[in-house]
Amino acid sequence: MNDKVDFLEKQINSDFSNELSKRFLQYALSTITSRSLPDVRDGLKPVHRRLLYAMNLLSLQPNKSFKKSARVVGDVMGKYHPHGDAAIYDAMVRMAQEFSMNFTLVEGQGNFGNIDGDNAAAMRYTEARMSEVANLMLDGINENAVDFRDTYDGTGKEPVLLPAGFPNLIVNGAQGIAVGMACSIPPHNLNEVCDAALYLIDNRDKNHNELYNIINGPDFPTGGTVIESKDNIIDTYKNGRGSFRLRANWILEKKSSGTWHICINEIPYQVQKSRIIEKIADLILNKKLIMVSDVRDESSEEIRIIIEPKSRNVSPEDIMDTLYQVTDLEIRVQLNLNVLDSDGSPKIMPLNEAIISWIDHRREILIRRSRNSFNKTINRLEILDSFLIVYLNLDEVISIIREEEDPKKKLIMRFKLSENQAVAILDMKLRNLRKLEEQQINQEKVELQNKKSQLEKLLKEKTLQWKKIKNEILNIKKIFKNELNRKTNIENKNIEYSNDISLKIEKEPVTVIVSKKGWIKSLKGHSADLDSIKFKEGDELGLYLFLSSLDDLLLFVENGRFYNIPVYKLPTGRGFGEPLSLVFDDIADEKILFLSDSKNEKLLLVSNDGRGFIVNSHEVISKRRTGKQIMNLKGSNKAISCSPINGDMLAIVGENRKLLIFDVNEIPVLSKGQGVILQRYKDGKCSDVKIISSNEGLFWKMGKDRTRHEKVITTWLGKRGGAGKMPPRGFPKPPKFN
């Protein structure tokens, strides 16, 4: 009964949505701060930090032997990282991949994956140890350089961050996706980052434009070429957000008889080689890469993707320009310098602030290590003083230790020692007594006193601290002097792609078919047998047009919009095609009035309220799926006609059967609008229009195979905006010209 009362007392009445929001926020914060975003100071996420710390405790230094990866993963999972072993091993694998990092943190032995995208072997088959860089990252970990906190189960301690004697964040980069935010930092050149750090030590409060002459851009382990204007690179670094255009590198290899092929020898960062080859092969198979006859992989330790041209008359630059557009041989690499600052809060930093955060961290580490060394030096000097007392009073000290019940207290009183000194004397081994020589003790004491004064000076003077940090940075450059050369080229220019579709698509005749119910497709060849084309039940042929695969199709719809699409993008095959509503937006249930090949011509647009105007076809083209609104329509009005200007007169007839003919030159040329009144109606609306020639007269259909010709048209001639007169005898009902 009491248990039930206690349970009821602990219940809290709360709104479900509030509790859900609260818990989701807790999850989001945990993901951001404890999983996905790196710390700006050491450039590591918790899983990477824990891996390196566990390897250090397992004595997996670069000069020691390898241990099974499973042993490392097991220690990390059991002691520090309460997540699955697969996630821990995946993080460890990436730290060992030379194509993922400029300087690996883990030295792997066995299959740790490859640039083709193949997975690493299972952790029981691979071995690992720390790299030289990891050693630098942990240097000073046991000298009170960083704070420690309880592990997740409270049974041990782990570092909050590492001393980071290497600029890991900027040099190796980082990737992470949190809740509502992400981090993407590409790798950079070590030599440039070190020079930038040295520059910022002396110029942290000045204008940092010079910094961007030191750091030219990202430097990827897989090479390639960054093509971006200098201004764009600087803006990206100053804002902490932006992107870089990264291309594969290639060379031209000449063969006998004047033939040649292209060899791609460097591919973009984190792009799988096998997928590039599959994509190119697929484009060749589907005839979307007509300049290339074959692609093959000749890679061994070095990348060699061979592109064979169809003809030696083709320009290799044109082939590569096309491949850059349609494959991952060119990508955009994002920079989103979203990291945890020194307070543990997520922040998007400019590049200079991120580097300053690292050198400030190094200064903090230097101060903490120096203070720790200073305290140890003082303690050792105190112990040496006690050793001198033993040396000078050896027999008396031995007598006190042998005869007194409380020798520590007696020693303190007799020789005025501190408790630490007394303990040191009592803890001394007998065999060390023979080594006690006054000269050696005094020599060590002098050395320690010199060290103490140097440390005191270092802790007091900021300039000495920065000088020490500079020397550490220069030492990094010295250690890795053979790996300072840039792998990625930088070209500060803007790229304009060739829009020549003929380089990508084979030119062939095509028939474009639009059904009355708004289905569209293209058929190979200029089909003369249109009656054999199949449509859905209840549907039939609406409009058709003979074009080529390289043309653009222009459509005018009764909603007053023009739509444009390359012919090669239209659905093909023997099926019914696709509804226009899937190809374009805002076109559902609208009637298609006109098809054209988008050539430069003048078009007459007419609405059912008798208004119209002329527009140039090149002004109506739009690549947007929503098309381009050219004719503005009021209320329920619709466009009824779009006609090329292939004559000098316009014939217009209303639903009231009044016919008016006037000079086309009376119609204005506009870019868009409602148009002007072409014919006025007392009742009804406009029924049809037709462009005619004054020399040939007026034609109209009388039936399926009969045509009526009225050569003399003076009876219906008038001015634009007139009412018109009744048509000649035999004119169709309802009034239509076709």
At residue 436, the pLDDT reads 65
Window from 223-237, 421-435, 551-565, 567-581 with minimum mean pLDDT? 421-435
| Whole-number Å distance between alpha carbons of 401 and 550 | 104
Per-residue confidence at 71, pLDDT binned at 50, 70, 90? very high
Q: Contact, 170 vs 355, CB < 8 A?
A: yes
At residue 144, the pLDDT reads 93
At residue 590, the pLDDT reads 81
87-124 burial: b if 16+ Cβ within 10 Å, else e: ebbebbbbbbbebbbbbbbbbbebebbebeeeebeebe
Which residue from 386, 381, 382, 383 is spatially nearest to 451, judged by alpha carbons?
A: 381
| Whole-number Å distance between alpha carbons of 273 and 224 | 13
DSSP class of residue 568?
A: G
CA-CA-CA-CA torsion for 226, 231, 232, 236, nearest 10 degrees? Answer: 110
Amino acid at position 239, single letter: N
Q: How far is CA 469 from CA 201, 354, 451, 472, 503, in A?
A: 9, 17, 18, 5, 56
Asked whether the predicted pLDDT for residue 501 surpasses 90, the reply is no
Identity of the highest mean pLDDT range in 2-16, 35-49, 592-606 = 35-49
Q: Contact, 80 vs 73, CB < 8 A?
A: no
- Strand, helix or coil at 111? coil
At residue 293, the pLDDT reads 92
Per-residue confidence at 503, pLDDT binned at 50, 70, 90? low
Per-residue confidence at 635, pLDDT binned at 50, 70, 90? confident
Asked whether the predicted pLDDT for residue 5 surpasses 60, the reply is no
Q: For residue 265, how many other CB atoms are within 10 A of its CB?
A: 15
| Whole-number Å distance between alpha carbons of 193 and 705 | 82
At residue 8, the pLDDT reads 55
* DSSP letter string, 408-446: HHHHHHHHT--HHHHHHHHH--GGGGGG--HHHHHHHHH
Q: How far is CA 693 from CA 526, 661, 674, in A?
A: 29, 11, 26
At residue 357, the pLDDT reads 96
Q: Which two tokens stand for residue 49?
A: 């930090």
| Mean pLDDT, rounded, for 412-435 | 81
Is-above-0.85 flag for pTM?
A: no
- Backbone phi and psi for residue 227, each to the nearest 5 degrees, phi listed first: -115, 105
At residue 688, the pLDDT reads 92
Please pick, among 53, 80, 89, 125, the residue that the annotation labels catalytic. Answer: 125
| Mean pLDDT, rounded, for 590-605 | 84
Determine whether 125 is an active site residue. yes
| Mean pLDDT, rounded, for 137-152 | 94
Q: Contact, 464 vs 154, CB < 8 A?
A: no
At residue 713, the pLDDT reads 86
Residues 6+ apart with CB under 8 A from 259: 312
At residue 734, the pLDDT reads 85
